[in-house]
Structure 1
């Protein structure tokens, strides 16, 4: 009987240890959180410690959020000292900050939309006025893309709204969610879609 109890206890401890190990492997503390309440703003200090500077609010009116895969991409940005991150309408991270160095390097690389390159996918919106931008500039026509050079001019088309279109400039980095290609400022998003939808499927050209 004692042997049986000891065996059960041993198996229980092994299960707990294994679960803890799996959790630890899945928790990457070197990268920013993949999802938080929309509108949340977090900052990291010089020691890379996180602080929530603005708590977001859940919007029950976001009708499209349930249709979009919000699983974070594997290319989530690594945490850096003094980094600021804003979470968009669907809770995905957009990296922002005031980088004068990045601004000066990219200032002479303004590209005009030539419709020579195309990317299709989901487009969302975020509050571009929270926490600055990765380029150092804030504007109502600003947007976030993971790789395009800052100040690249991009044409955005909404496939769900008779191909309504507008133009934005890349000022931030993001979104870091599978299937999402662009995060627009709320002002620009409202020109081609209902902000209550949170997201639309479309195409971008540059």
Structure 2
């Protein structure tokens, strides 16, 4: 720490320097300048160091003393102590530190070989601090950018590639990427560049698009002992949900380079469908009791019976297992077999028609095809087998047996809207 020089004069000087009144009479004066302040002091003898010590001046290792501390002091000697201050000069990000006798930023820079368009962070008259001063200097450099929008060479004061691009180019974003135009090596945007550098810029952009998509509902099946075996009933109708899907598209210099799902947000939860499956076994029908034979019966003895009831009972049953496949067809369905004289009669398949069997007539489906028929109004379904042709009334696509119609609807209605799918 610098001490204020103490200038000792008169009798006090003689006492401080250890001389007597006779020595004082024989002494001479010497000028001492410390950090720009000059005083004249009496000199008895000794070196420059002795004179400064006698004045209470503490010389720092960085100070410049003229003449040197070990030089003899005389009346002709002018002792000068000059302070040196540490200064760090940062030019385009490169720092160097030195000691200087300059007192201001301008005096420091006057000794440097800097271009006229150099930009200085501090004012020229800023005084240097005793503990050290950092001076930031930026010298403009030439840089060439090439890319999607062509090529341009500019002289810029910015120190880094990204700062220069952002300040002087059009349509620059933080997502853009930089490469050495010669080697192709990637360059970090915060990298300082040299004068005459050529940099290739890739303009990387992302955009989001939102699309609403359906969410399928789940289906669960529950056994119902109160529902006839082979039939099903929808207890809770399934409802699809929705979700908003955000798709992010990335382009490089205007060309799509990739897409990804950025997020999914459920906007409506799906409702699960609950289907009841009947497990109730059908009650056995008591066997019919034959009436005693009559004379008329005897006349037909040995002739095979062709009554409708006997023919109908021999019709094969329809398997209710399997899953529906393919497109769903919606149409009007009628019924036949009760009170119309068709029960027990022939069908297109060759078998006898049974109004209580799970069968149906269709114009074109192959005979023997099984289809699942659902009544949307009740949610009930039944699997029927196509064994006949028809109906031939406009607006209808199925003619169900009375038993099949009863399984999912009310035959008293005559016609109902149904949906059907082929069963695999």
TM-score (norm 1): 0.43
Larger Rg: 2
Higher strand share: 2
Query: Greater relative contact order: 1 or 2 (C-alpha under 8 angstroms, separation 6 or more)?
Result: 1
TM-score (norm 2): 0.21
